[in-house]
Chain A
Amino acid sequence: MASIEIANARKSYGAVDVLHGIDLNISDGEFIVLVGPSGCGKSTLLRMIAGLEDITSGDISIAGNVVNDLQPKDRDIAMVFQSYALYPHMSVAENMSYALTLRKTAKEKIADAITNVADILGLSALLERRPKALSGGQRQRVAMGRAIVRKPQAFLFDEPLSNLDARLREQMRTEIRKLHRRLGATSVYVTHDQIEAMTMADRIVAMHDGIIQQVGSPVEIYDHPANIFVASFIGSPAMNFLEGTYETKDDNGSDGAGICLSDGSLVPVLHAQGATTHQAATLGARPEHITIVSDANSGLAARVDLIEPMGLSTLVHATLADKPIKIFTMDRPDYAVDSTIHVSFDMEKVHVFDTKSELRLPPITEPHPSHRD
């Protein structure tokens, strides 16, 4: 197992810049999830670590050695592909033992390793089958098995679960996590699914347009998103954004600040670092940080658009200051569509973003975010 350091790595295809200077240090044994919308360069970065894609500039090191010019086979990494990429003309056992055979491992050792891994992954009965005769979930396991029999320096995963149905995906998510705990292997996992990112990662790397937006633990990223992109990308149902201006009564922090919405209503917020009065600001509120209140005086009026029962909870879609918002509640509300409700925002939990730079302006009470990537 090994650490991976990426220093100012860039990638261009001709004139098209795909990655703009990526800096990332992955420590030994860490489970890193690269997450971001389609086309943001996650796969490209992963393939650069694997050696399948040239590095335009910058350095990538594995276990302290710069690997820029090493062939994939000399980097001692294993990769699980979205398509699984099982060799169709080989049996499950042959697929899993291929890498060991190439390394001239002794036959008995290979057999032991295969039996062991097949046991862990529940593939023992399928060893003689061809990939064609396996279900999607079984193929996925074989692909995992092929990676883990090798005991490589690091595991790379490129959306390995995206071809599975929801239930199987959930199950594999837990299994991969358990496997990671058991093997303690440095892992880089690419996904565009923020739930996978939240549930699996030690640290999430949120990417957008070839730039790392934020690196942090799932909770850090969820509770303290660095900017509007991260705030909107992580979390489901997504955060509500309401544009307005930042207003204060008194700048020393003793008295309130608020975001004045387009209809003139004021949502109180904590004083924000670096915010100036009257500046364009966006209020960010997660659905669970908006509550429906019965007292008309203590909330803002909103119009109900839709009630969406989700089992555990209910999602109320409403319109506030001409903007659609979603409200999460554990109650079972039965408001009629178009009826008026009153909502209040959890002042401690909502975020203020600079509308122009899209950066979050943290409350002055919050210590500076620790830079520990």
Chain B
Amino acid sequence: MTLTGHTSTRKMLYWGSHYLMIAAFVIFALFPLYWLLKVSVTPNDILYTEGVRMWPSRTTWDNYTFVLTQSNFPHYFMNSVIVAGTTAAVTTVIAALTGYAFSRFAFRGKVIIVALMLITQMFPLVMLIAPIFKILAPLGLTDSLTGLIIVYTAFNVPFATFLMQSFFDGIPKDLEEAAMIDGNTRFEAFRAIILPLTLPGVAATLGFVFTAAWSELLFALMLVSSESASTFPVGLLSFVSKFSVDFGQMMAAGVLALIPACLFFLLIQRYLVQGLTAGAVKG
């Protein structure tokens, strides 16, 4: 029938343009990563001579070998893993407990605490560097990973808390009340009933904080001066010298730095998708 023929063409057109748009977006988003990869495997001698090509005529792993064996990069990398991992873990624990309290309890000063937490998110970070340096220096926390972890945790807790709260809000409080009547204390009910149901939220929060801490440059640059406590975003800058930029090595380091973030998201991906959609539906 002409009618169905008509609608099926329209349908195809619709889905065609749908996928075309998605493809365009994905290409747009991933192209820089592709370029990163391309430059990282391009031998130094042809980097500038070949002009703009989608793929170099020769490829090499030299940049990677150099970064891994000759440079300080593995050290920066480990520092970053420690800082981002600890920050993510500590922040998520604090955010889960605080978010639960915000979601379930009415207490004096709640509004004030929420307001304060929002205010901390309003200042440009640059403004806070000097005071924070002043505070940390006498405590011996500048130039140390611990200092970075504390600063990152402090800055990420407010948002992470609101994120966790929204996940707790999505879980009916009947559930822990049922558990409390069944024989749990409130904390046991939180651990045994509510937390397992909030795993997607925990994963999302972990992922968010980890990425934020992993890629943070400003504080890492300002609070840390020694090589030994530098994180990899600072390390990347060491490939920029006064006279030249070693793009090949820098890109290789960049590709390596992507690996933990990718691994991390691969691990939590299952919960994350669940969590984001669950949150979306429940609103």
Contact = CB atoms under 8 A, between A and B. Distances in A.
Interface of A: 50-52, 71-73, 75, 77-79, 81, 83, 85-89, 98-99, 102-103, 146, 150
A99 B183 contact: yes
Contact of B174 (A75, A85, A146): A85
18 contacts: A50-B177, A51-B181, A71-B180, A72-B180, A77-B181, A78-B181, A79-B178, A79-B181, A83-B172, A85-B172, A88-B175, A88-B197, A98-B179, A98-B182, A99-B182, A102-B182, A146-B178, A146-B182
Given A73-B183, A81-B178, A85-B174, 12 more contacts: A51-B181, A73-B180, A73-B184, A79-B181, A81-B174, A85-B175, A87-B178, A88-B175, A88-B197, A102-B184, A146-B178, A146-B182
Contact of B181 (A50, A86, A87, A88): A50
Interface residues of B, number: 15
A85 B175 CA distance: 5
Contacts of B193: 87
Contacts of A103: 183
B16 interface: no
A77 B193 CA distance: 19
A73 B172 contact: no
Nearest to B106: A13
A257 B177 CA distance: 56
B185 interface: yes
B275 to A, nearest CB: 14
Given A83-B172, A89-B196, A73 B185 contact: yes
Give the secondary structure class of A's interface: loop
Contacts of B180: 51-52, 71-73
A79 B176 CA distance: 12
Most buried by A among B175, B177, B178, B183: B178
A73 B178 CA distance: 10
B227 to A, nearest CB: 47
Interface string B37-52: 0000000000000000
Contacts, number: 55
B20 to A, nearest CB: 37
Contact of B183 (A51, A52, A88, A102): A102
Contacts of A79: 177-178, 181
B90 to A, nearest CB: 26
Contacts of A77: 181
Given A73-B184, A102-B184, A83 B179 contact: no
A75 B181 CA distance: 8
Contacts of A51: 180-181
Nearest to B193: A87
A146 B174 CA distance: 14
B175 to A, nearest CB: 5
Interface string B7-36: 000000000000000000000000000000
A103 B193 CA distance: 16
A331 to B, nearest CB: 48
A78 B179 CA distance: 10
Across the A-B interface, give the 3 residue pairs with the lowest CB-CB distance, nearest first: A102-B183, A85-B174, A99-B182
Contacts of A88: 175, 197
Contact of A89 (B181, B185, B197): B197
Interface string B172-205: 1011011111111100000001001100000000
B181 A72 contact: yes
Nearest to A87: B193
B182 A73 contact: yes
Nearest to A103: B183
Contacts of A72: 177, 180-181
